[in-house]
Structure 1
Amino acid sequence: MSIDQLNIQGLTELDRDDPGPVVMVNLIRFSEQAGDGDGTGWDAYMRYSSQKVALVKAHGGILLWNGNAKAVAFGRLDGAPWDYVSLVYYPSVEAFMTMMRSPEYLSQCEPHRRNACADHLIICTREAFSKFHIPAK
């Protein structure tokens, strides 16, 4: 689960076909112990978050919402459960990719993310409807 899994081709095509704001839905399962041995996966994620929030803002993004995943309400129960969900707005796919590939992210954030997460899935979404519309910047 490394930055090499970033779907550059798919995201580039998405942005070319439909440019505009996106919300990245992060599904996270924490490692019991941090990969570097420094506390738990949650501890490593807190180190990651403390670095990443500033980078998100620097790339025009906004942390919209974080929450603990409590239970599967509908759907398959045989998959591994997620521990945490985070919704992050970016003004474009390009802004997200630029942040993810930046030297600051790769050196300051990515090591903590790898140490924190047993699994991490990011789903790129575009607004179809929202009571809380965020205007494009």
Structure 2
Amino acid sequence: MAETIAALKEDFSLIDEWEDRYRYVIELGRALEPLADADRNPRNKVQGCASQVWIAAHEERDGKEPRLAFTGDSDALIVKGLIAIIFRLFSGRTPSEILATDAGALLDELGLREHLTPQRSNGVASMVTRIKSDAKAALAQTLKSA
């Protein structure tokens, strides 16, 4: 995870202007893996976002604790880019790693939160809450099965 965070910080440090950083965030969103139509359902819709946002969690079992992979989409380009950044932090991690990650601190380090509207900041918080909720459920299921 440290490499992912370092890479994001490096990418953002190379871009001086915030307008250019927003373009970069949008590019990240455009590169997201498409969300399957079946995953565009009420269960995967993230509440608390002004834009339409869907996040689907998929478990990958390769050891004691599963790894969670996420797919998602939004109807807003900048939000889709924020989803891509959040997925870089959380996708492919175990539930324990996800629960231990402070996404807010990273967004502060990137300078993103200070440049987001309060509405978008709330939406990002809702997305992180949703991912952590999925991680808690996966961890509980793992402990129950053990």
- Give the TM interval when normalised to the shorter protein: under 0.3
TM-score by length of 2: 0.26
Which structure carries more strand by proportion? 1
Flag the structure with more relative contact order, 1 or 2, with Cα contacts below 8 A and sequence separation at least 6: 1
Query: Which TM-score applies when normalising by structure 1?
Result: 0.27
